[in-house]
C-alpha cells in the first residue's frame, strides 16, 4: 500500500503528460477521469440550464424530483434509457445506427489534448489546436448522416442547415485561432507552437493573457471566436436547425430514447470542448489571475484558497436553503437530502484546504472555473437572445465574421512584426 | 514481415492505388468515380509521406520535402473535388441521371 | 530511444482497415455507404501518417479530407436524387477490361520491383531520428523561411488555385449565370 502511494506520488511529481512520457497506464487513468468528469459535467449542465433559464424567466424550474430538482437529470437519464427505441420504417438502418456514434466520438476525442494543468492533459500533441479543430469538424459528418438516415423531410432540411451553419462558422473560428497562434511566436526564438500547453505557457512567459494582447486585437479575436463557437455547437441564438417551433427538432427528430441522449451528450460535450479552446487560447488556461503582477508565495497561497472557499460557499448556500424548506412532514426527505448534499460539498471544500490536495488542484480549479463561466454565458444567451433566421445566420458567418477575422489576422501579423516592418519602411525611405 | 519498413507502406499505397483505378474504370456512378479518384490521391500521398520518412533518415531531420508535397496534394485534391462536384451538379441538372454511360450525345 | 513496440500490430490493423474500406468504396450500391467507407479509409490514413511521424500532415488530412471534402461529397449525394440509380446496374459494360487493366498495372509494379532489387534491399534504413516535437515548425521552415524555404512560390500558386476552384465551383453550380 505504501508502495502504491509512493508510485502515485512519483508519478504526480513528473513534468510530462502521460502521453508524452509514453505511460499507457496513467494515460488510461486520465482518460477515465476525463470521461467521468465530462459525464458529471453534462449532467450538472442539464440541471443548471433548466434552473438558470427558469430563474431568468422568473419561475422556479424543477423543484420536485430531488431537493430543488437536483435529481431531475438522473430521472431524465432513467426515462431516456427505458424508452422504446423507434426506427423509422424506411430508414437506412446501418447509417441510422452509426450517426450518433460519430457525433459522440468526435465530441469526446477532442478532450485528449485539453490541458487542465501544465502536465494534466492526456497527451500534449505537437499539433494540439489543429487536432481539436479537425476532430470537432468530424461531428458535421455525424449530423449530415443522421439527417439523411431518418428518411424524412424535417430531419434532412435540419441536417443540411445545421451542417452548412457549422461549416461556415468553422472558417471564422479557424481565423481567430490563427491570430492567436501568431501571438505565440512573439518570444525570443521567434517560433510559435500549436500545442495547447505551449500556448498557455506562451501566455505565462509573455506576461499577459492573449485576450488583452495588442489591445483591442485580442479582444476582437475573442469575440469572433465566442460568437463562432455558439454557432458551431448549434446553440441559441443560432439554433434554428433544432428549434422546436421551426423544424420539429431538426436532425434528431426521429431519434428517441438512448440515441437522442447520445446527441444531447455530444452537444454538451462539444460546448465544453470549444469553451476549453477559448479558455486556453485567450483566457490563460489554467493560470490563476495575475500570475506575474501579483506573484510570490503569499499571493499563491491566497489564490490557492479559492477552490476550498468556492465549495464551502456552495455548502453554506445548501444549508441556508435547507433552513428555508417548508416545515411539512412530506418535505422531510428533501430537507435531509439537501442537508446531506450540503454536507458532502462542505467536506469536499474542507478537503481542498488541505495542503497536498490544494497545491495540485489549483490549476484544474481555475480551468474549470473559467469553462464554467462560459457555460453560464451559453445559458444566458439562450435565455436572452431571439433566434437568428437562417439567411441572417449565414450572412453573419460569411459577410461579417470572415472579413473581420481576415482583417484581424493581418493586423495581428502587422503588430507582431511592427519593429521589422518599421525598419523596412525606414530603409525604403532612406533608399530613395 | 514483422519489422515495418518503407516497403510495407509502398505496397499498401500500391494496393490502394489499384483499388482506386478499378473503381474509376468499372463504376457507372459519377460520385463513386470521384471517390475512387480521392482514393488514388490518398495512395499517392501515403507514398510521398513514406518516402519523406525514408529521406529524413538519410538527410537529417529537416528533410521533410515529402510531407510538404503531400500537403500540396491534399490542397489540390480539395480544389479538384469541389470543381468536380460542381460539374456533377450541372450534369445532373441537365440530364437527371448520374450514370456516366448515359452522357453519350457526342457519340457517332 | 526504443522504437515503439506496438508498431506492426497497429500498422496491420490500419492497413487492413484501409484495404477493406477501399474495397467497400468501389463495390457499394448506396453512395452514402461508399462515402462512409471512404471516411473510414481517410481516418485510418491519418493514423498511418501519425505512425510515420508526420503529425501536421495527419492534422491537415483530418481537417481537409475527412472534415471538408467528405462533407462536400455527402452534401452533393444528398442534394441529388440517387434512389432510382440504386436500382440500376452498378458496373459498366467494360468492367472486365477495367479489372484486367488494373491487374496489368499491378503486374507492372511487381515487375519493376523485382527487376530493380535482385537481391539487395531497395530502401535501406538510415539513421532514424524519432523526433516529432517540432514537425510543424520544420514544415513552416521549408515553406516560409527566408533561409531554407523553397516552397513559397508553390504555396502562393496553391492559394491562387484555390481561388480559381472556388470561383469555378460557384459558377458551375449556379442555375443562371
In a domain, C59, yes or no: yes
* Residue in C66, C78, C132 closest to A138 by CB: C66
* Residue in C63, C74, C78 closest to A130 by CB: C63
When divided into structural domains, chain A yields a total of 1
Looking at residue B93, the DSSP 8-state letter turns out to be: H
d(CA C155, CA A41): 43
Does residue C65 carry a pLDDT above 50? yes
Confidence of residue C1 (pLDDT cuts 50, 70, 90): very low
Mean pLDDT of chain A: 87
In a domain, C125, yes or no: no
Does residue B75 carry a pLDDT above 90? yes
| Residue C139 and residue C58 share a domain | no
Could you tell me if A307 and A362 are in contact, meaning their C-beta atoms sit under 8 angstroms apart? yes
Partners of B27 in beta bridges:
C91
Confidence of residue B31 (pLDDT cuts 50, 70, 90): very high
* Residue in C32, C62, C134 closest to A134 by CB: C62
Which chain C residues touch A148 with a CB distance below 8 Å? 32, 74, 78
Domain encompassing residue C7? 1-87
| Residue C74 and residue C138 share a domain | no
- Best residue in A90, A144, A158, A189 for a mutation probing chain C (most C CBs within 10 Å): A144
In a domain, A55, yes or no: no
* Residue in A167, A193, A194 closest to C71 by CB: A167
| Residue C79 and residue C19 share a domain | yes
The pLDDT value recorded for residue C2 is 47
Q: Dihedral through CA B81, CA B85, CA B87, CA B91, nearest 10?
A: 150
Q: Say what percent of chain A tops pLDDT 70.
A: 97
Does residue B58 carry a pLDDT above 70? yes
Q: Say what percent of chain C tops pLDDT 70.
A: 89
Residue B27 φ/ψ, nearest 5 degrees: -90, 150
Burial class (CB in 10 A: 0-12, 13-18, 19+), A293: exposed
The pLDDT value recorded for residue C26 is 93
The pLDDT value recorded for residue A248 is 63
In a domain, A25, yes or no: no
Q: Cell triple for residue C76?
A: 452533393
Which chain C residues touch B73 with a CB distance below 8 Å? none
In a domain, A432, yes or no: no
CA A165 to the chain's CA centroid: 19
Could you tell me if A145 and A101 are in contact, meaning their C-beta atoms sit under 8 angstroms apart? no
CATH of the domain at C37: 1.20.120.1200
| Stated length of chain B | 108
Using the structure block, give the residue that is written with the C-alpha cell 505565462.
Answer: A204
d(CA A240, CA C2): 53
CA nearest A130: which of A148, A151, A110? A110
User: What pLDDT digit, counting tens, does each position of C112-143 carry?
Assistant: 888 887 766 667 666 666 666 788 888 888 88
Which chain B residues touch C128 with a CB distance below 8 Å? 53, 56-57
User: What pLDDT digit, counting tens, does each position of A192-239 carry?
Assistant: 889 899 899 898 888 888 988 888 899 999 999 999 999 999 887 888
For residue A18, the tally of other CB atoms under 10 A from its CB is 23
Looking at residue B67, the DSSP 8-state letter turns out to be: H
Bond into A237 cis (ω within 30): yes
d(CA A376, CA B61): 47
When divided into structural domains, chain C yields a total of 2
Q: Dihedral through CA B78, CA B80, CA B81, CA B84, nearest 10?
A: 160
Q: Give exposure, C35-55, as e/b (b: 16+ Cβ within 10 Å).
A: bbbbbbbbbbbbbbbbbbbbb
In a domain, C111, yes or no: no
For residue A263, the tally of other CB atoms under 10 A from its CB is 22
ipTM summary value = 0.92
Last residue of a domain, one of C87, C111, C146: C87
C120 conformational bin, left if phi > 0, alpha if psi -120 to 50, beta if neither:
beta
Which of the other chains make 3 or more beta carbon contacts under 8 angstroms with chain C?
A, B
Does residue A331 carry a pLDDT above 90? no
Confidence of residue A247 (pLDDT cuts 50, 70, 90): low
The pLDDT value recorded for residue C5 is 59
The pLDDT value recorded for residue A432 is 64
Under 8 Å CB-to-CB from A159, ≥6 apart: which residues? A143, A144, A146, A147, A148, A241, A250, A251
Q: Cell triple for residue A28?
A: 488510461
User: What pLDDT digit, counting tens, does each position of A367-412 carry?
Assistant: 999 999 999 999 999 999 998 888 899 999 999 999 999 999 999 9
- Cα dist from A288 to A153, A215, A283, A313, whole Å: 50, 21, 10, 19
Domain encompassing residue A206? 76-305+353-423
Does residue A273 carry a pLDDT above 90? yes
| Stated length of chain C | 177
- CB pair distance less than 8 Å for C67 and A130: no
Could you tell me if B45 and B73 are in contact, meaning their C-beta atoms sit under 8 angstroms apart? yes
Does residue A250 carry a pLDDT above 80? no
In a domain, A172, yes or no: yes
In a domain, A13, yes or no: no
In a domain, C113, yes or no: no
Q: How far is C109 from chain A (nearest CA, A)?
A: 35
Q: How far is B48 from chain C (nearest CA, A)?
A: 11
* Whether C22 contacts chain A with CB within 8 A: no
Q: Cell triple for residue A385?
A: 437572445
Three-state SS letters, B9-36? HHHHHHHHHHHHHHHHHHECEHHHHHHH
In a domain, C46, yes or no: yes
In a domain, C121, yes or no: no
The pLDDT value recorded for residue C130 is 60
Partners of B29 in beta bridges:
B99
Mean pLDDT of chain C: 86
Three-state SS letters, chain A? CHHHHHHHHHHHCCCCCHHHHCCHHHHHHHHHHHHHHHHHHHHHHHHHHHHHHHHHCCCCCCCCCCHHHCCHHHHHHHHHHHCCCCCCCCCCHHHHHHHHHHHHHHHHHHHHCCCCCCCCCCCCCCCHHHHHHHHHCCHHHHHHHHHHHCCCHHHHHHHHHHHHHHHHHHHHHHHHHHHHHHHCCCCCCCCCCCCHHHHHHHHHHHCCCHHHCCCCHHHHHHHHHHHHHHHHCCCCCCCHHHCHHHHCCHHHCCCCCHHHHHHHHHHHHHHHHHHHHHHHHCCCCCCCCCCCCCCCHHHHHHHHCHHHHHHHHHHHHHHHHHHCCCCCHHHHHHHHHHHHHHHHHHHHHHHCCCHHHHHHHHHHHHHHHHHHHHHHHHHHHHHHCCCCCHHHHHHHHHHHHHHHHHHHHHHHHHHHCHHHHHHHHHHHHHHC
Looking at residue B102, the DSSP 8-state letter turns out to be: G
The pLDDT value recorded for residue C129 is 61
Which chain C residues touch B65 with a CB distance below 8 Å? 142
Could you tell me if C69 and A141 are in contact, meaning their C-beta atoms sit under 8 angstroms apart? no
Residue B105, helix vs strand vs coil = coil
Q: Cell triple for residue C54?
A: 508526420
Confidence of residue C23 (pLDDT cuts 50, 70, 90): very high
Residue of chain A minimizing CA distance to C57: A127
Amino acid at each position: 500500500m505504501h508502495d502504491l502511494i509512493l508510485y502515485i506520488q512519483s508519478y504526480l511529481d513528473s513534468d510530462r503528460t502521460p502521453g508524452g512520457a509514453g505511460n499507457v497506464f496513467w494515460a488510461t487513468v486520465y482518460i477515465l477521469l476525463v470521461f467521468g468528469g465530462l459525464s458529471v459535467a453534462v449532467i450538472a449542465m442539464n440541471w443548471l440550464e433548466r434552473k438558470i433559464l427558469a430563474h431568468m424567466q422568473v419561475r422556479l424550474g424543477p423543484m420536485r424530483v430531488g431537493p430543488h430538482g437536483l435529481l431531475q437529470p438522473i430521472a431524465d437519464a432513467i426515462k431516456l434509457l427505458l424508452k422504446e427505441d423507434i426506427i423509422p420504417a424506411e430508414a437506412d438502418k446501418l447509417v441510422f445506427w452509426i450517426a450518433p456514434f460519430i457525433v459522440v466520438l468526435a465530441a469526446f476525442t477532442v478532450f485528449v489534448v485539453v490541458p487542465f494543468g501544465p502536465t494534466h492533459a492526456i497527451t500534449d500533441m505537437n499539433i494540439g489546436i489543429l487536432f481539436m479543430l479537425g476532430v470537432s469538424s468530424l461531428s458535421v459528418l455525424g449530423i449530415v448522416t443522421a439527417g439523411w438516415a431518418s428518411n424524412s423531410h424535417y430531419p434532412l432540411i435540419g441536417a443540411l442547415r445545421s451542417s452548412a451553419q457549422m461549416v461556415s462558422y468553422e472558417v471564422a473560428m479557424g481565423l481567430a485561432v490563427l491570430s492567436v497562434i501568431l501571438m505565440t511566436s512573439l518570444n525570443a526564438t521567434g517560433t510559435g507552437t500549436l500545442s495547447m500547453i505551449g500556448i498557455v505557457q506562451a501566455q505565462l512567459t509573455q506576461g499577459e493573457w492573449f485576450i488583452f494582447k495588442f489591445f483591442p486585437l485580442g479582444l476582437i479575436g475573442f469575440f469572433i471566436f465566442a460568437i463562432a463557437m455558439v454557432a458551431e455547437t448549434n446553440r441559441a441564438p443560432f439554433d434554428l436547425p433544432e428549434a422546436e417551433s421551426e423544424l420539429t427538432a431538426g436532425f434528431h427528430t426521429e431519434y428517441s430514447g438512448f440515441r437522442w441522449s447520445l446527441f444531447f451528450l455530444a452537444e454538451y460535450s462539444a460546448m465544453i470542448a470549444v469553451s476549453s479552446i477559448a479558455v486556453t487560447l485567450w483566457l490563460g488556461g489554467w493560470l490563476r489571475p495575475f500570475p506575474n503582477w501579483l506573484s510570490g508565495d503569499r499571493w499563491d497561497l491566497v489564490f490557492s484558497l479559492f477552490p476550498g472557499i468556492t465549495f464551502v460557499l456552495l455548502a453554506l448556500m445548501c444549508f441556508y436553503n435547507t433552513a428555508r424548506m417548508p416545515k411539512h412532514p412530506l418535505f422531510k426527505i428533501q430537507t435531509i437530502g439537501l442537508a446531506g448534499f450540503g454536507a458532502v460539498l462542505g467536506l469536499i471544500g474542507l478537503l481542498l484546504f488541505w495542503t497536498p490536495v490544494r497545491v495540485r488542484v489549483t490549476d484544474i480549479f481555475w480551468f474549470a472555473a473559467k469553462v464554467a463561466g462560459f457555460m453560464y454565458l451559453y445559458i444566458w444567451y439562450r435565455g436572452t437572445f431571439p433566434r437568428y433566421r437562417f439567411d441572417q445566420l449565414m450572412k453573419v458567418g460569411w459577410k461579417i465574421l470572415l472579413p473581420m477575422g481576415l482583417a484581424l489576422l493581418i493586423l495581428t501579423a502587422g503588430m507582431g512584426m511592427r519593429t521589422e516592418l518599421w525598419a523596412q519602411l525606414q530603409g525604403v525611405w532612406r533608399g530613395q | 514481415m514483422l519489422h515495418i519498413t518503407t516497403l510495407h507502406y509502398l505496397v499498401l499505397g500500391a494496393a490502394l492505388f489499384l483499388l482506386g483505378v478499378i473503381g474509376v474504370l468499372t463504376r457507372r456512378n459519377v460520385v463513386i468515380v470521384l471517390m475512387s479518384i480521392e482514393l488514388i490521391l490518398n495512395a499517392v500521398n501515403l507514398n510521398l509521406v513514406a518516402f519523406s520518412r525514408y529521406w529524413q533518415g538519410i538527410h537529417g531531420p529537416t528533410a521533410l520535402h515529402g510531407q510538404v508535397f503531400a500537403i500540396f496534394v491534399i490542397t489540390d485534391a480539395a480544389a479538384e473535388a469541389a470543381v468536380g462536384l460542381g460539374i456533377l451538379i450541372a450534369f445532373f441538372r441537365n440530364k437527371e441521371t448520374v450514370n456516366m454511360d448515359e452522357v453519350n450525345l457526342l457519340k457517332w | 530511444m526504443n522504437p515503439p513496440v506496438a508498431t506492426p500490430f497497429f500498422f496491420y490493423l490500419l492497413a487492413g482497415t484501409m484495404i477493406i474500406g477501399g474495397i467497400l468504396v468501389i463495390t457499394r450500391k448506396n453512395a452514402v455507404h461508399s462515402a462512409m467507407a471512404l471516411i473510414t479509409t481517410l481516418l485510418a490514413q491519418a493514423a498511418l501518417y501519425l505512425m510515420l511521424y508526420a503529425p501536421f500532415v495527419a492534422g491537415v488530412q483530418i481537417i481537409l479530407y475527412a472534415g471538408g471534402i467528405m462533407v462536400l461529397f455527402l452534401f452533393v449525394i444528398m442534394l441529388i436524387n440517387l434512389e432510382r440509380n440504386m436500382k440500376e446496374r452498378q458496373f459498366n459494360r467494360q468492367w472486365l477490361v477495367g479489372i484486367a487493366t488494373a491487374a496489368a498495372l499491378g503486374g507492372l509494379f511487381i515487375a519493376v520491383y523485382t527487376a530493380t532489387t535482385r537481391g539487395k534491399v531497395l530502401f535501406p534504413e538510415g539513421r532514424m531520428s524519432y523526433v516529432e516535437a517540432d514537425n510543424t515548425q520544420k514544415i513552416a521552415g521549408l515553406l516560409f523561411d527566408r533561409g531554407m524555404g523553397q516552397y513559397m512560390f508553390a504555396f502562393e500558386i496553391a492559394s491562387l488555385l484555390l481561388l480559381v476552384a472556388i470561383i469555378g465551383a460557384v459558377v458551375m453550380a449556379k442555375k443562371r449565370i
